Amino acid sequence: MLAIRTKEKLAVRGSPTPSGATSAPDRERFADLMAAVAARQDRDAFAELFAFYAPRVKAYMLRLGAGSALAEELAQEVMITVWRKAGLFDRTQASVSTWIFRVARNRRIDAARRAKHVDFDHEDPAFHPEPEMAPDDAVSAAEREASVRAALAEL
């Protein structure tokens, strides 16, 4: 009986159900929070969205194979994107969780693509041309080369 009451309380409060899915009142509340963030940059609404979704996005990134530090960084980037692009959210097209996790998936794909590209070290000597030789050193090198060629020709 206690477990049933707990489930009822969860559903009434609008928090996640034990299976991890969000209830219908929760979906509407989160959609309203997104609308508040989009319309007036409501920090309290965003804080509530952040508190609910940031840990879930990080766990999702970990399940996709990101390391702990990368998962944390990507979760932060996703939530920044939610803050900046909340106006693009359309409650008639998807739920807030669907929209946020789509952003998260795209961020993870971008991170994987960045990891495949080799970053070049611009300080590597191979990327810098040889410095120009001083004129007197160039003359000495040319004379040395001529004498070596002459010595090789005699052999």
> In 14-67, which residue ranges form alpha helices assigned H by DSSP?
24-40, 43-63
pLDDT tens across 17-38, in order? Answer: 434 456 666 889 999 999 999 9
The per-residue pLDDT for 125 is 78
Is the pLDDT at 148 greater than 70? The verdict is: yes
Considering only 6-15, 75-84, 107-116, 120-129, which range has the smallest mean pLDDT? 6-15
Cβ-count burial 133-146 (b if 16+ within 10 Å, e if not): eeeeeeeeeeeeee
